[in-house]
Structure 1
């Protein structure tokens, strides 16, 4: 069975000092700095769009890449303020198998919808037309330039980036405004969000586990398809040729959290996790297929499959060695049929 980590996690007892140390380090050393950087880069992106909104602008594209890199540092934290108001999907609406994003944008541009000029109102549009993947369409898909007027498209890009900056800042404010303290004080008598410290650890472990699963099964698995039917057109962010870059930044961020969670398991397990992360980094660097468009070529496919296998290996280490030390049991995903 390939899937080692379940969506369902069962909390078991754990000694309080280790829990408190791990939780506090995750909050202060990973979550809060990650959101601070993501919010700052999103503001830079909005400022870049105000300065120059043309899709071919190198400065704007560079700001989009930097902001996407920073977002991948927190995108695996799929709990807390990120889930409020559909914020998580509004920032990263992918996979999008039916092409809802490009269609929604085409409707807005074709109609010159006034909502595209109003960042506050834009928060109410479909998540498919918001966030990094929608903005990739505006910046990298030449078909977008054939719809509507350049003036409206410019206004829309500025509105989209302002909406993104507001959204990330709202998530960060949610953390600094109370959620961080709630996570750090898990088990306190009046803590309704995390009634026990085990609840907090289960949440943190689940973020790392499911984040790795998403990289293996979606970011790599979708374009890999099957040997008889590879699906390179399903690669994330292929228009901007950053499909593999997304895997690299995401796994790096998840690895940072995983190393914090591995501390109670001892130095040997920590060393195993670090070595596995290093191997993944090396394999990504060697793949030389930024948009994952070479998955039909046998040699290129083998390199991508090797990355996926190493991510699965890391998932196994978390399930078998890290979870028990945390007092969290990882079962099998019921959707796998295992």
Structure 2
């Protein structure tokens, strides 16, 4: 009898650990993160209503808070954020073809009435929506200077209201049904293994975006650095985004480690090294990549992020029973 009970408990333990892992990630990371995104985005829209000047301290502060909130959940790019291209509506980046300034300039030049209602603006070019459009408008006088004061104000209010609405829709969908689909596989996710793969992919993709895009794009090559490709450089948020990404990804990596203390400790140590490397940079827009004597600091940070990726690929993936060989930016 005792052996039967022991055998049953050994079978049940991995299931319980996995269920607890998903609950922990949902209740400690995803759900509160999406709630913060919705609330800070609403505050941003209200700030634009109160003071729509591009140099408004109130609006710039609200923009930073809402953008920070997005950065803390942007790696959970599945489910509600995929619906109707909501993630792209919030963060059209990288913009390798310069579509954002073109889209915004076209709106301003034509005094386009598409900004007059939320329903119409939701059909506007996705490049004219979201946080990166705000990065241009708040910190680029060439675009805002070509606009009348009234249109300028209405454009700010249209974009911030659209951000707030998109964020609220994402939050609502997580609360209404999507969290339950992760907790109880059987519909969208057929098995717990599929849930674990989705969460693992979120971690892997987040690390890849930080290493290859947030750091790799401005680094370019030694002979041809690309500092102007740094993310959100106009608002001087490039380094901050790397720091926030690491801050958000660390608890996800540790939660996915479940009861593997050695693996969790390894993540703790490697993330701590990366955090210290970010703090030591003191280079908000990665301007140092253009200096052969200083770019090694950014390269060293990129290597630390890749070290974390290697741990996820070679140790975490197999421990979860997930194939680590797929390209996380290509989807399933």
Q: TM range, normalised to the smaller chain?
A: over 0.9
- Unaligned stretches of 5+ residues in structure 1: 1-13
In structure 2, the partner of 1:28 is 27
Distance 2:78 2:129 in 1: 20
Does residue 232 of structure 2 align to residue 237 of structure 1? yes
Tell me the CA shift for residue 108 of structure 1: 0.7
Q: 2:275 aligns with which of 281, 299, 302?
A: 281
Give the secondary structure class of the aligned counterpart of 2:42: helix
Does residue 125 of structure 2 align to residue 126 of structure 1? yes
Q: Say if 2:18 and 2:258, in contact at 8 Å, map to a contact too.
A: no
Give the secondary structure class of the aligned counterpart of 1:328: coil
Q: 2:292 aligns with which of 295, 298, 301?
A: 298
**Quick one: structure 1 residues 118 and 300, their matched pair in 2 at CA, closer, same or farther if it must change by over 3 Å?**
farther
TM-score normalised by the chain length of structure 2: 0.93
Q: 1:272 aligns with which of 266, 269, 280?
A: 266
Does residue 48 of structure 2 align to residue 49 of structure 1? yes
- Unaligned stretches of 5+ residues in structure 2: 1-12
Q: Say if 1:120 and 1:163, in contact at 8 Å, map to a contact too.
A: no
In structure 2, the partner of 1:8 is none
1:105-159 deviations in Å (ceiling 9; x for gaps): 1111111111112223211111111000001111001211232212101111011
**Quick one: structure 1 residues 334 and 317, their matched pair in 2 at CA, closer, same or farther if it must change by over 3 Å?**
closer
Where do 1:1-338 residues align within 5 Å? 15-186=14-185, 191-264=186-259, 266-331=260-325, 333=327
Tell me the CA shift for residue 19 of structure 1: 1.6
Q: Say if 2:201 and 2:328, in contact at 8 Å, map to a contact too.
A: no
1:241-283 deviations in Å (ceiling 9; x for gaps): 110101111121111211111123x111111101111111111
Distance 1:238 1:105 in 2: 17
Tell me the CA shift for residue 335 of structure 1: 9.5
1:18-60 deviations in Å (ceiling 9; x for gaps): 2211111111111101101111110111111111000011111
> Which of structures 1 and 2 has the bigger CA Rg?
2
1:167-187 deviations in Å (ceiling 9; x for gaps): 01100111101000001102x
Distance 2:50 2:91 in 1: 24
Tell me the CA shift for residue 334 of structure 1: 10
**Quick one: structure 1 residues 143 and 334, their matched pair in 2 at CA, closer, same or farther if it must change by over 3 Å?**
closer
Give the secondary structure class of the aligned counterpart of 2:288: coil
Tell me the CA shift for residue 325 of structure 1: 1.8
Distance 2:131 2:236 in 1: 14
Q: Say if 2:205 and 2:328, in contact at 8 Å, map to a contact too.
A: no
Q: Say if 1:289 and 1:300, in contact at 8 Å, map to a contact too.
A: no
Tell me the CA shift for residue 332 of structure 1: 5.1
Provide the aligned length of Structure 1 versus Structure 2: 318
1:217-247 deviations in Å (ceiling 9; x for gaps): 0010001000010011111111111101011
Tell me the CA shift for residue 303 of structure 1: 0.8
**Root-mean-square deviation (CA), in Å?**
1.5
In structure 2, the partner of 1:11 is none
More relative contact order, 1 or 2 (CA 8 Å, 6+ apart): 1
**Quick one: structure 1 residues 140 and 271, their matched pair in 2 at CA, closer, same or farther if it must change by over 3 Å?**
same
**Quick one: structure 1 residues 335 and 86, their matched pair in 2 at CA, closer, same or farther if it must change by over 3 Å?**
closer
